[in-house]
Amino acid sequence: MKIVVTGATGFVGKWLVNELLAQKDEVTILVQNKKKVPAEWNGIVRITEASLEQFCRLEQSDFPDGGADILFHLAWSGISGQKRADSRLQIQNLQYTVDCVALAKRLGCHRFVNAGSIMEYEAMSYIPIGKTKPGMGNIYSTAKLAADFMAKTTAVNQDMEYINLIISNIYGAGEYSERFLNSVLRKMLNHEPIPLTHGEQMYDFIYASDAAKAIALAGKKGEKNSAYYIGNREQFPLKHFVLQMKEILESRSELQFGKVPFQGAMLNYNEFDTGKMERLGFRPEIDFETGIKMTKMWMEELMTEFKVQNLGGGVKIITPFFLKDERGYFLKSLEKDVFSEWGLDVEIQEEFESYSRRGVLRGLHFQTKEPQIKLVRVIRGKIHDVVVDLRKGSQNFGKYLDVVLDDKEHKSLWIPAGFAHGFEVLSEEALVSYQCIGKYQKEFDTGICWNDKELAVKWETKNPIVSDRDAALMTFREFTEKYEGL
């Protein structure tokens, strides 16, 4: 069978492509960047490279095999974190889904398979109710819901069969996102305290290899114009899974149930037929305990190389690969492929280095246009590093995060675009490296004064050494009045 897959280089996409290859299908993947295609697919998988915006203009001649039988549409940007609340991004995803239906028709596909999720059902069950307070993550949920309705309507009116996949929670090796199970598992491995909701809401988790089998089966043999739940027949309270994970991992993490307010729907899973896949012959092979152990093994292999800790808002602490012996040490601070897997696309354009003595304070700097992404590391000494969220529409707008970086732990700080950055030197001297994604542009380079009263950053140095330029930078109020945000 000839099959086209979008989103093939994502977590679920990779598992699905490998499953289709195992079933001897002829697979063409539609990707935005050929560099992200796994090397083991070379010569086996056919590739068409195009941006999401170009989907609507592709024709059969753009594909190595010409036509296809089925198109699996998995591509969707902003599936976790604050990007779920980005309305422009989510509306674009919606349009790209409809564009993909039209593309499938041009390719001669008889079936279009859409990757939906249970979150659409949560949105339908919660948002319309009076006096509810839906979180901004529901922008993602409602966009997915609209994509399902519009894609189905478009497909059936073009005489194509339509399948919607109601995906529960897929986990396993290769998952780098900040979704719930992934984040909790990493924190448990580090024995960190974990703030949680009450945990009474019903949940379901399915291992990636099982999910790929179910998706392939529903896509190929499911009843036309139907929806299929991709998960297990039985569900349990979230608390059940979290406690089981802690026991499996022998974690010392403090589980803070009830600390995070729960705002959402309490699904009972009667909303969908959870046994429908069984009637197609599907049975999960990996139970939860086995899946967690397999995921743990994969994560621990990664942690011997790099360790990434999320501080919030996309800001991350990266612990490098580090070896020390009688000769000295060997450190690997950056590996493009690994960083890309974590969702950190590293295209370093510039690198800077600063030398400062004790008490020097630099910042808080940013560019008003085309703000840079920065990877900051201390080569020698110790600094107190501060970043301020200036992203327009961010829930944390005007709030700061801080961390100590030094030459003992060799950690790096990943600072996304849209943050102001500064630091003070806590050691006798400090040598700091800044690797930048995006070009420095002097005409847009500015900042906010280090001692702004509204930001109220708690610096450790009472009377820091500050340049005349930094001392004269604008206040946070002046920034908001002039720019509103980045």
Catalytic residue among 140, 228, 229, 434: 434
* Mean pLDDT, rounded, for 310-319: 90
pLDDT at res. 436? 94
pLDDT at res. 267? 86
**Closest C-alpha to 140, from 203, 93, 206:** 93
* Residue 322 reports pLDDT greater than 90: no
Residue 229: beta bridge partners?
166
* Mean pLDDT, rounded, for 395-419: 94
* Mean pLDDT, rounded, for 422-439: 96
pLDDT at res. 335? 79
Q: Amino acid identity, residue 198?
A: H
Q: Would strands 419-425 and 382-389 be described as parallel, antiparallel, or unpaired?
A: antiparallel
Residues 6+ apart with CB under 8 A from 278: 233
Count of beta carbons in the 10 Å neighbourhood of residue 479: 27
What residue has token string 């420095």?
Answer: 440
pLDDT at res. 253? 94
Percent of the chain with pLDDT over 90: 72
Q: How far apart are CA 98 and CA 57, in angstroms?
A: 13
Element at 328 (helix H, strand E): strand 328-332
Count of beta carbons in the 10 Å neighbourhood of residue 345: 12
Task: Verify whether residue 365 is a known catalytic residue.
Answer: yes
Distance of CA 460 to the CA centre of its chain: 33
* Residue 325 reports pLDDT greater than 60: no
pLDDT of 84-142, one tens digit each? 899 999 999 999 999 999 999 999 999 999 999 888 888 888 888 888 888 888 999 99
CA distances from 58 to 92, 159, 214, 396 (A): 17, 20, 29, 40
With bands split at pLDDT 50, 70 and 90, how would you rate the model's confidence at 302? Answer: low
What three-state secondary structure class fits 252? coil
**Closest C-alpha to 70, from 167, 163, 147, 168:** 163
pLDDT at res. 52? 83
CA distances from 218 to 115, 207, 210 (A): 11, 16, 12
Q: Amino acid identity, residue 217?
A: L
> Which region holds residue 225: left if phi is over 0, alpha if psi is between -120 and 50, else beta?
left
* Residue 324 reports pLDDT greater than 70: no
pLDDT at res. 3? 97
Q: How far apart are CA 389 and CA 313, in angstroms?
A: 8
What three-state secondary structure class fits 346? coil
Q: How far apart are CA 99 and CA 155, in angstroms?
A: 11
* Residue 469 reports pLDDT greater than 80: yes
| DSSP assignment string, 28-83 | EEEES-GGGS-GGGTTTSEEEE--GGGGGG--GGGSTT---SEEEE---S--SGGG
Give φ, ψ of 151 to 5 degrees: -65, -40
Catalytic residue among 121, 203, 365, 421: 365
pLDDT at res. 242? 97
* Mean pLDDT, rounded, for 264-292: 91
* Residue 282 reports pLDDT greater than 60: yes
Count of beta carbons in the 10 Å neighbourhood of residue 405: 23
With bands split at pLDDT 50, 70 and 90, how would you rate the model's confidence at 467? Answer: very high
Half-sphere exposure of 203 (CA within 13 A, CB side): 19
Burial level of 113, CB count in 10 A (0-12/13-18/19+)? buried
With bands split at pLDDT 50, 70 and 90, how would you rate the model's confidence at 227? Answer: very high
Task: Verify whether residue 434 is a known catalytic residue.
Answer: yes
With bands split at pLDDT 50, 70 and 90, how would you rate the model's confidence at 172? Answer: very high
Token pair of 393 as six digits: 């529409």
* Mean pLDDT, rounded, for 320-328: 71
pLDDT at res. 326? 62
* Mean pLDDT, rounded, for 166-193: 88
* Residue 291 reports pLDDT greater than 90: yes
Residues 6+ apart with CB under 8 A from 438: 349, 367, 370, 371, 372, 373, 417
pLDDT of 46-93, one tens digit each? 999 998 888 889 999 999 888 899 999 999 988 877 788 999 999 999
With bands split at pLDDT 50, 70 and 90, how would you rate the model's confidence at 329? Answer: confident
* Mean pLDDT, rounded, for 474-486: 94
Kindly report which listed range (34-38, 141-145, 453-457) carries the lowest average pLDDT score.
34-38
What residue has token string 């889904």?
Answer: 97
Residues 6+ apart with CB under 8 A from 322: 329, 330, 331, 332, 410
Q: Amino acid identity, residue 35?
A: K
Averaged confidence pLDDT in the chain: 92
Distance of CA 449 to the CA centre of its chain: 32
pLDDT at res. 177? 75
| DSSP assignment string, 150-198 | HHHHHHHTTT-EEEEEEE--EESTT--S--HHHHHHHHHHTT--EE---
